[in-house]
Amino acid sequence: MTVIKSVEVVPLKIPFVRPFKISRGYVGAPGQPGDHVYVKLVTSDGEVGWGEARPMPSWMYETVESVCTSVERYLAKVLVGEDPFNINKIHAEMERVLAPAVTTGMPFAKSAVDIALHDLVGKLTGAPLHALLGGKLRDSVEMAALVSGEPGAVAEYAKELRAKGHRCFKLKIMGDPELDSELVRELKEAVPEASLWLDANQAYTDFKLRLLLRRIAGVEGVICLEQPVPTYDFFGLRRIARVSPVPVAVDESLFSHYDLLKLVRFEALDALVLKVAKSGIRRTLKIYALAEAAGLSCLGSGMTESGVGLAASIHVFSTLDLAAPVDTNGPQFLKDLLVRGLGIEGARVKVPSKPGLGVEVDERKLEEYRVR
């Protein structure tokens, strides 16, 4: 029987080619690389499975150190000696050794392990990940473009991205109704035909948000307003969802299907954001199934992951019915994706067809970006 023999974590810093700012600070910028953790599972017969976590403590509490410790000290003992096909059992054990408190505990660390297990199972069976999930609905996945920054800078960059083929633009808004409405109008003018997806990353109160909604009333093509209020503010979400002419989507308020059930009962959302980085592959599918039953629209997004996390997301999103192009913006911001085998053309990523994630990690590059 094939069992997992070793678990290795590789903390990395990957440079940003351009600044990426959200309401909670910089995701990254030139000279300010992002933190990534690659997880490498090796089996007794030498097969390798890769996972990736993209900790960003200003977005959610996990850090590069906590991801490494979670995997090395706690999750590894669940994995070593275990059959990689026992993904259900491994998840149950991971919940036992790092127990959830209200919502998922250490979701990024567990997601990286979950991705690596699926990569392994795909390689051991010769099936690409999308096939393990029931099959892709399309051969490539369309990406939205991410724009953020000061008024003046956003328009030029948006036009550049439009020329590359992007038709949907995700705009990071900052929590200031005057500044944000200026950004929205500027973006609308720069790419009039595009759909606009606004993400506040928890920067508003529902009171202040109404001022923004009044200011952008009449701007055509705004498809949703993501996570306007803090992660825990289900009451604020409900008050906004009741009055907003723009659909309200949740991201930071939702990590698991348990969270979604509460949000549905609260009538606190119109749509939701799926991320493999925060929910792993299995839990993303559980959330999706519940959303489908509740008649909620789903959007796909990411955490500016490099190639491993991006490939996992593209496989998963290729199997789902999503309301807009996906916000997997690693290719836009990162100097390097660290893998071979990803076909990216303009705004589209080809769904890899080789076994597992279908990409090959460039281990020389891991050494180049590794943090010691």
SS3 for the chain is CCCEEEEEEEEEEECECCCEEECCEEEEECCECEEEEEEEEEECCCCEEEEEECCCCCCCCCCHHHHHHHHHHHHHHHHCCCCCCCHHHHHHHHHHHCCCECECCCHHHHHHHHHHHHHHHHHHHCCEHHHHCCCCCCCEEEECEEECCCCCHHHHHHHHHHHCCCCEEEEECCCCHHHHHHHHHHHHHHCCCCEEEEECCCCCCHHHHHHHHHHCCCCCCEEEEECCCCCCCHHHHHHHHHHCCCCEEECCCCCCHHHHHHHHHHCCCCEEEEEHHHHHHHHHHHHHHHHHHHCCEEEEECCCCCHHHHHHHHHHHHCCCCCCCEECCHHHHECCCCEECCCEECCEEECCCCCECCCEECHHHHHHHECC
CB of 370 vs Mg ion, minimal distance in Å: 28
- Per CB under 5 A, residues contacting Mg ion are 199, 251
Q: Which is nearer to Mg ion, 119 or 233 (CB)?
A: 233
Q: Cβ closer to Mg ion: 47 or 180?
A: 180
**Smallest distance from the beta carbon of 56 to Mg ion, in angstroms?**
11
Nearer to Mg ion, 142 or 199 (CB): 199
Looking at the Cβ atoms of 148 and 319, the one nearer to Mg ion is 148
Per the DSSP assignment, residues forming a β-bridge with 142 are 348
Q: Least distance in Å: CB of 201 to Mg ion?
A: 6
Closest separation in Å from C-beta 327 to Mg ion: 8
Of 249 and 285, which has the nearer Cβ to Mg ion? Answer: 249
Is 79 or 196 the residue whose CB approaches Mg ion more closely?
A: 196
* Residue closer to Mg ion, measured from CB, 119 or 251: 251
Nearest residue to Mg ion, using CB?
251
CB of 372 vs Mg ion, minimal distance in Å? 31
Least distance from C-beta 183 to Mg ion, angstroms?
A: 16
Task: Supply the minimum distance, in Å, between the C-beta of residue 331 and Mg ion.
Answer: 18
